A and B are shown apart, each in its own frame.
Chain A
Amino acid sequence: MLSIRNLSSGYGDAQILHDISFEVNAGEIVCLLGRNGSGKTTCMKTIMGLIPANAGSVKVSGETVSSLPAHEVPKRGIGYIPQGRRLFAELTVAENLEIGLMVHQRGDNIRDQVLGMFPRLRERLDQRAETLSGGEQQMLATGRALCINPSVLLLDEPTEGLQPSMIEQIREAVKALRARGVAILLVEQRVDAVLSIADRVVFLENGRNHPPVTTAELEAKPELLTRFVGV
């Protein structure tokens, strides 16, 4: 579904990612793990086209998206939940969802589906996004990305700074999306959360990736965690 081949990118002269390659299949959760500064967020942004790729390719269902202008990438079915949520703070909940819906000019059924997933948002439709609680903001960020009905979903630290009950809700939502066949790429710092939800793990170190391992393999070889994440 999402296929990344020999991808390199960076900011100006500073190259951050070197020769990254991995795949995320439909109905699978792949987790990017690595220390701070290892290139996880840069990898997400490069997939979205927000940072131009210097070399290599990103393909979604066989179509190369890495050569498209950034605003065309989401139209190929990639939903993005950025780190820190990055909601349009002064827009209302309804307007934030509308931005997501406009990607495909889709109508009410997707909106209803999303609001069915997060009923709390329905009560807050006319409220400005900046007035929501942290958990509600994360629901909105997730809902906004789901409004484009994605086949690939990128989540950058979705549970950062949330209370446990909220984390559980987000996790259930992510699992439900996997069951629907969405290919999910997840950046997550908390190893226990990764182990319980991910199918495969890709370790990033200094902008390079190591061959993906399944969660079962990782449980058998916990020394990998010590080596790449330091826990």
Chain B
Amino acid sequence: MELVPYLILGLLEGLVTAAVLSLMALGLSLVFGVMRVVNVAHGEFFMVGAVLAWQIASLFEGHPAWGFLAALLVAPPLTACIAVAANQLVLKRIEYDPERTIVATIGLLYIIQQVTLMTYGPDARPVEAPFNQRLSIPLVEWTESGLSLYWPWGLGTTTYKLAVIMAAVMLLTGIWILMTRTRSGLLMRATQLDRETAQAFGIPVGRVYATVFGLGAALAALAGVLIVPIQQAHYLMGHDPLLLSFIVVIIGGLGSLPGTVVAALLIGISDGMISVFFSPTLAKIIATLGVAFVLIFMPQGLFGKRGL
């Protein structure tokens, strides 16, 4: 088999990874940008989203689309509620102190993980995709009778994977509109830039923080719901995405939304490509190496500001 089908396959798998990763990393970046909280428990919100999606979907019988739709609508807000509760009970009490919030969110990570283990057990749970037609992808070749299409064996994707990519694009556009075109976005950006002055102009900083933490968690949970028909729900599934999200956020520049999306594409596609041609482990090694180089030569990231 020639090279092109592999490249296309790697690109498609990479775009799915990038889609999920960009949603999750955007949540992490938003929380760090506005609240200056490094949320180590972010991967657990992703996991909770996926596990809740399984739980909700299993309540429905009949066509799998109903269960999935319910999961998509219910799991992210429910996860946001857990995050807001954690914000009120823990982060607010330690006054969002940067060092203490790291330790606190590590604790949160284990609490969420173990509670999930005790409630749902250690099994991996599948959720059926709402639609999952296989699509073969044709390539063009030059034959004696002119241009013609042919279908290389094994080159294809599913409608669901394409839908995940589309959903991520729509959600990212939605977040961008929220941040740049709405009053709530203005409040969040003002709080991010100068918390004290924001208060002096009537911005309820405490409420903004709770909203941002909930929104960040909801984005991670959305990523979890979207991935669960492709990859099963499991109480330890938050680790790898957390690592990748940190890699994305560092490469993109902490607190920069465009940087996060560009870095997610970079990491996702390179992950897909390297996984197809070599191995997924090598992909992670190279991504981590990339972070090391970014930290040495461009500590502010691709789109970040100096002196952050």
Contact = CB atoms under 8 A, between A and B. Distances in A.
B201 A89 contact: no
A80 to B, nearest CB: 5
B202 interface: yes
Contact of A98 (B186, B197, B204): B186
B102 interface: no
Contacts of A148: 201-202
A48 B200 contact: yes
B177 to A, nearest CB: 15
Interface in A67-91: 69-75, 80, 82, 86, 88-91
A91 B189 contact: yes
Contacts of B159: none
Interface string B99-117: 0000000000000000000
A100 interface: yes
B199 A50 contact: yes
A103 B202 CA distance: 6
Nearest to A141: B197
Contacts of B206: 69
B109 to A, nearest CB: 31
B183 interface: yes
A213 interface: no
A160 to B, nearest CB: 16
A156 B205 CA distance: 23
Interface in B144-195: 183, 186-187, 189-190, 193-194
Most buried by B among A75, A86, A144: A86
A74 B204 CA distance: 11
A198 interface: no
A75 B202 CA distance: 6
A95 interface: yes
A144 B201 contact: yes
Interface string A89-128: 1110001001110110000000000000000000000000
Contacts of B196: 50, 86
A75 B203 CA distance: 10
Given A88-B194, A90-B193, A100 B201 contact: yes
Given A71-B204, A71-B205, A102-B183, A88 B190 contact: yes
Contacts of B194: 86, 88
Interface in B33-68: none
Most buried by A among B198, B199, B201: B201
B290 to A, nearest CB: 27
Contacts of B204: 69, 71
Given A88-B194, A90-B189, A91-B190, A50 B201 contact: no
B197 A70 contact: no
Contacts of B200: 48, 50, 70, 73-74, 80, 82
A133 B21 CA distance: 41
A86 B193 CA distance: 10
A17 to B, nearest CB: 18
Contact of B186 (A75, A80, A82, A99): A99
Interface in A164-209: none
Contacts of A88: 189-190, 193-194, 197-198
Given A50-B196, A102-B183, A74 B190 contact: no
A66 to B, nearest CB: 15
A91 B186 contact: yes
Nearest to A95: B186
Contacts of B186: 91, 95, 98-99, 102
A13 to B, nearest CB: 16
A203 B212 CA distance: 43
B176 to A, nearest CB: 15
26 contacts: A48-B199, A49-B199, A50-B196, A50-B200, A70-B199, A70-B200, A71-B203, A71-B204, A71-B205, A72-B202, A74-B201, A86-B196, A88-B189, A88-B190, A88-B193, A88-B194, A90-B193, A91-B189, A91-B190, A95-B189, A95-B190, A99-B186, A99-B190, A99-B198, A102-B202, A148-B201
Q: What 4 pairs between A and B have smallest CB-CB spacing? A: A103-B202, A70-B199, A86-B197, A74-B202
Given A88-B194, A89-B193, 9 more contacts: A69-B204, A71-B203, A71-B204, A80-B201, A82-B200, A98-B186, A99-B186, A102-B186, A144-B201
